[in-house]
Chain A
Amino acid sequence: MNAFYASVEVIEDPSLAAKPLIVGGSGDRGVVASCSYEARAYGIHSAMPSAQARRLCPQAVFVHGDHARYSEYSRRIHDVFASFTPLVEGVALDEAYLDVSGARLLFGPGPRIADAVRRRVRDEVGLDSAVGVATTKLIAKLASKAAKPRATLRALDPGPGVVVVEPGAELDFLHPLGVSALPGVGPGTRSRLERFGVITVGDLAAIPLDTLTASLGPSLGRHLHELARAHDDRRVEPERAVKSVGHEETYARDLVDADDLRREVVRLSDAVSARLRSSGLAGRTVTVKVRFHDHATITRSHTGPYPLDTGPELARAASSLLERVDSCSGVRLLGVSVSGLAAGASRQLSLDWVEQGRAAAGPGWAQASRAVDEVRSRFGEGAVGPAALLDERGIRVRRTGDQQWGPSDDTRQGKS
């Protein structure tokens, strides 16, 4: 989709049309999640700090975004995709790979399917999209980027909408692109490659594998060597297994106090564990992400002997990771995630609950958590939660999509 969140906001509120619109956190610490092409004309792009975006375009309209609404639109887009082929691999709410090789008899060749998908998403959902058609995921993704609109201050070039890279023409398409078009090439790798005089993917393809692995390491070197030759044998996998479940949050004010940090860990852990349980998953590896006052970001993780899916267990693991981090300079962002996921059906019981004299109560938090899930499904997420999250306004549980792009102005000023 083109400018997905921003376009959804325009559908919901047509008065926003043709304005520089930014979806994201409006506070000092917010980031731009998505922006309209009118905003892009000012040089604003997603992941840019909101403060910078505001400097570039003071008249931009900020909206905070609504995760539930985007999920609903996403579902409708995916319904359209699914009507063409069952082989749909969702990459993001607004992005998917479709393997249409088996659908050509029904709907015609790839380029015709691309046009049909675009048209139906436009007619049925109201959103503009860009489609790349190619023989591999890598080229299709890059072609879809080439199909997108481009904005300048003078005019909006609507883009071709569909870009087709015919079989055999992959290298002609790929080689003129800059190396940073390839997945795995960030600013660091790009500047290292530039020192070799490698600017385009074509330059990269001319470098021998040995030279690449020597300077970039064996795995990245080999990866880029393959990509530069347009070798990509990844299939479209309809049900990509979830690899991790996590939440993170940027705070309006740096957290310094150990009790505050601990409370936030409990809050994030509670939300992550609820999501794990709702998908029937549990995970062994707990990762804590901390961004300090100076934006330096670290992660710490620990793999325990057994998969976890309850808030208290997760909070304990995450807290003990956080205790080993020096947070006295202030924490602006905190994240808790769980990976190493497996179906949560069986569970090693621990002697801890026997020691704590709860032998008669059964296997501790597992049952309590199930009860919490049931109460929340009937009475809402704020109906029950860890006591640490209680304040005068009730239980401050974290909801999916909350503060995704940083706190907004009003929380900065302490209003509710």
Chain B
Amino acid sequence: MKFSCERDVLLEALAVASRAATGRGGSLPVLSGVRLEVGGDRLYVAGSDLDLTIRVETQVKGSQDGVCVLPARTVTEITRALEAGAVSIESDEDEAHLSSGRYRSSLRALPADDFPRVPALTRGDGGVTEGVVNLDVGDVGQALRQVVRAASSDDARPILTGVLMTAEEGGLRLVATDSYRLAIRDLPGRNVLGEGQQVLVPSKALAELQRLLPSVSEVELAFGDHDATFDLAGVRLTTRLIEGDFPNYRQLIPSSYPNRLVVDKEEIQGALRRVRLLARDATTPVRLALRPDTIELSVVTSDLGQASEEVDSKYEGTEMTVAFNPGYLVDGIEATDGDEVSLETIDALRPAIIRGTGSEEFLYLLMPVRVS
């Protein structure tokens, strides 16, 4: 294998693909590498952790077709450190030679045969979609930003590490929950899945997708029986789907709320930012005392101190105090659209709902913290 290209072209391809590569010391050493393949003037760079594969395709000056797998971190760091200009890589049986200007290095290659095959999408009889769907990245990016944060990072409950994508009234709905909060975003009119069909996509893959979206204008989606692919200009992200039943999230959402608070988004964000500084860790709750014209936010940490701040508000309902994990509350408020945010509650022990006023497309359900 032999090719040359501009340093920036190679660096971008390596940096994107190696995000799917695993750290060293994993069970399959070859997964700490990136696979480089040259075919004509095309270079394909792929990283994979078996669940997620990112493959970048780019234009280079190829002189000899072939494949080699190089340690992802090392080759990316070398390329990053090079001066701008042409880089060439040439590989033989078990070594790759990288040169640029007066720099030369030889890297021991990882066994290319061990590298997992980039899965081709399987569409069996139960295949979820036929063909592919294009989505506008603006909407998708915003939806991911709103929903992915609510997915769990706890591998003990794999189902909750996924984001549910489901067909809903002719549109696409994204749902994620870590069992403490739940985020739902509707993308009306985006027919990605057949009516009534749903898939569970690992949130890690969607977080990677989110990183890549700003540099493209369109994303192409395709779902197979066990995996999904997202095609962006020159980058293909393939992820295994999570098997299993997502919790029945609909029954979690209460049908009506007796208490409704409306407050300026920036004001409450500022107040939260300040009172939160006296929370020793994420588990110190912030209390909201809900009253007709103002609400009071407060944090008490027994051996550190306490802080409180009042914020003007419109509140209809019973006066009460409800407490939340400050991080989860900030996440929910931050995810809403619009200048005002509403908080609807039943009581201090049941789920509360956060929405941007005037937007029906996003909903954030949050369980309170019980305080004594």
Contact = CB atoms under 8 A, between A and B. Distances in A.
Interface of A: 284, 302, 304-307, 317, 320-321, 342-343, 345-352, 354-355, 357, 359, 362-363, 366
B156 A349 contact: no
B248 interface: yes
Interface residues of chain A: helix, strand, loop or mixed (majority): mixed
Nearest to B368: A349
Nearest to B365: A351
A22 B371 CA distance: 49
A350 B180 contact: yes
B338 interface: no
B154 A346 contact: no
B369 A359 contact: no
A348 B154 contact: no
Nearest to A345: B372
B179 A342 contact: no
Given A346-B372, A350-B179, A362 B367 contact: no
B283 A348 contact: yes
B283 A349 contact: no
Given A317-B156, A342-B283, A348 B349 contact: no
A172 B237 CA distance: 67
B180 A345 contact: no
A357 B248 CA distance: 11
26 contacts: A302-B156, A304-B154, A305-B282, A320-B156, A343-B302, A345-B371, A346-B283, A346-B285, A346-B323, A346-B371, A347-B370, A348-B283, A348-B367, A349-B180, A349-B368, A350-B180, A350-B367, A351-B180, A351-B181, A351-B351, A351-B365, A355-B248, A355-B251, A357-B251, A359-B350, A366-B370
Contacts of B351: 351, 354
Interface string B265-285: 000000000000000001111
A77 B32 CA distance: 58
Contacts of B370: 346-349, 363, 366
B283 A351 contact: no
B367 A351 contact: yes
Given A346-B283, A359-B350, A362-B349, A351 B368 contact: no
Interface of B: 154, 156, 177-182, 247-248, 251-252, 282-285, 302, 323, 325, 349-351, 365, 367-372
Contacts of B372: 345-346
A320 B159 CA distance: 14
A320 B155 CA distance: 10
A307 B247 contact: no
A305 B178 contact: yes
A366 B368 CA distance: 14
5 closest cross-chain pairs (CB), A and B: A349-B367, A346-B371, A320-B156, A347-B370, A345-B372
A354 B181 CA distance: 12
B178 A354 contact: no
Contacts of B323: 346
Residue of A304, A305, A348, A354 contacting most chain B CB atoms (<10 Å): A348
Contact of A306 (B181, B182, B283): B283
B152 to A, nearest CB: 8
A366 B372 CA distance: 12
Given A342-B283, A348-B369, A354 B156 contact: no
Nearest to B152: A305
A170 B354 CA distance: 65
B154 A355 contact: no
A306 B284 CA distance: 10
Given A304-B156, A351-B182, 10 more contacts: A305-B154, A345-B372, A346-B283, A346-B284, A346-B369, A349-B349, A350-B180, A352-B179, A355-B251, A363-B349
A362 B350 CA distance: 8
Nearest to B346: A359
A159 B293 CA distance: 77
Contacts of B282: 305
B349 to A, nearest CB: 6
Nearest to A286: B156
Nearest to B324: A348
